[in-house]
Structure 1
Amino acid sequence: MKWTRDFGLTMRMVLTSFLLLIVYLIFLGVLAALGFPFEFLLLVAAGMAFLQFFFSDKLVLWSTGTRLIEEDEYPELHRMVESLAARADLPKPKIGIMASPVPNAFATGRSPSNAVVAVTDSIMRVLNREELEAVLAHELAHVKNRDMLTLTMASFISMLAYLIMQNWIFMGLFGNRDSQNNGMGALVLVYIVSIVVWIVSTLLTRALSRYREFSADRGSAEMTDNPRALISALQKISGRMDYIPAEKKREVEGANAFFIIPALSGNTLMELFSTHPPLEKRVAALEELAAGTR
Structure 2
Amino acid sequence: MLREFIIKVEVAPAYYVDLLEFILRYSDFKDARIVYDRLVFRVEYPLGVINGDLQVGEKIKISFSYPPSLEDKVEELYDDIFFLIQLFEEELRKSTLYFAWVEGQDIIPEKPSSLTRRISKALFGSNLLVLFIVFLGVNILLFILLGFYAVIIILLMQFSLILFSDRLYSIMGEWQITPENPFVHILMYQLPSRDLKFFQEVFGDLLINIKKEIYDKSLALGESPTCELGRDVLRRYGFECTPLNEKSKIINVYDLVKSAASKFKIPTPKIVISNTMLPNAAATGPSPRRGLILLTTGLLTRLDDEELLSVIGHELAHLMGRDPIVLFGIISGEFILRLTVLLPLVAMAPLLYVLVIFWLIFFVAKFFEARADLLSAVVIGKPEKLAMALQKIGYRRFERGADRIFSWLFWDPHPPLYFRIRRLKNLKIGKVKSPLLESARDVIRGFIDSIKSS
For Structure 1 versus Structure 2, the TM-score category normalised by the shorter chain is 0.5 to 0.7
**RMSD, matched Cα:** 4.0
Deviation track 1:102-148 (CA, whole Å, cap 9, x = no partner) reads 21211111111111111111111111111111111111111122212
1:272 partner amino acid:
F
Determine the structure 2 residue equivalent to 1:144. 320
Q: Which has the higher contact order (CA 8 A, sep 6+)?
A: 1
- After superposition, the Cα gap between the structure-2 partners of 1:229 and 1:88, relative to the gap in structure 1 and judged at 3 Å, is same
- The secondary structure found in structure 2 opposite 1:69 is strand
Shift >6 Å, 4+ stretches: 157-160, 189-192, 291-294
Contact 1:49 1:153 in 2 (8 A): no
- 1:293 and 1:45 mapped to 2: Cα distance? 40
Normalising by structure 2, report the TM-score. Answer: 0.40
Q: Partners in 2 of 1:35 and 1:230 — Cα distance?
A: 46
Kindly state the Cα deviation for residue 192 of structure 1 after the two structures are TM-superposed: 7.0
When residues 206 and 94 of structure 1 are mapped into structure 2, their CA distance, relative to the original with a 3 A threshold, is same
**1:274 corresponds to:** 412
Residue of structure 2 equivalent to 1:229: 385
> Which has more helix, going by share of residues?
1
Equivalent position of 1:107 in the other structure:
283
Pairs within 5 Å for 1:1-294: 37-38=147-148, 40-62=149-171, 65-67=172-174, 69-71=176-178, 72-75=180-183, 76-155=252-331, 193=350, 195=351, 198-239=354-395, 272-290=410-428
Identity, % of aligned pairs?
A: 30
Q: 1:152 to 1:69 in 2, by over 3 A?
A: farther
Q: Could you tell me how far apart the structure 2 residues matched to 1:223 and 1:205 are?
A: 27
1:53 to partner: Cα distance = 3.3
Q: SS state of the match for residue 363, structure 2?
A: helix
Q: Name the CA shift for 1:37/1:224 in 2 (closer, same or farther; >3 Å).
A: closer
Q: Where is the strand percentage greater, Structure 1 or Structure 2?
A: 2
Go from structure 1 to structure 2 and tell me whether the alpha carbon gap of 1:190 and 1:48 turns closer, same or farther (over 3 Å shift): farther
Q: Give SS of 1:107's match.
A: strand
Per-residue deviation, residues 237-271 of structure 1 (Å, max 9, x unmatched): 113789xxxxxxxxxxxxxxxxxxxxxxxxxxx98
The aligned length equals 210
CA contact (8 A) 1:155 1:202 kept: no
Identify if the C-alpha distance between structure 1 residues 36 and 152 changes in structure 2 by more than 3 Å, giving closer, same or farther.
closer
Q: 1:73 to 1:159 in 2, by over 3 A?
A: farther
Query: What TM-score do you get using the length of structure 1 for normalisation?
Result: 0.59
1:42 Cα shift? Answer: 3.8
Shift of 1:205: 2.6
Unaligned runs of 5+ in 1: 1-23, 161-188, 243-269
Looking at structure 2, the residues matched to 54 and 196 of structure 1 have their Cα atoms a distance apart, in angstroms, of 32
Q: Is the 8 A contact 2:274 2:294 kept in 1?
A: yes
Q: Give the Cα–Cα distance (whole angstroms) in 1 for the partners of residues 165 and 431 of structure 2.
A: 38
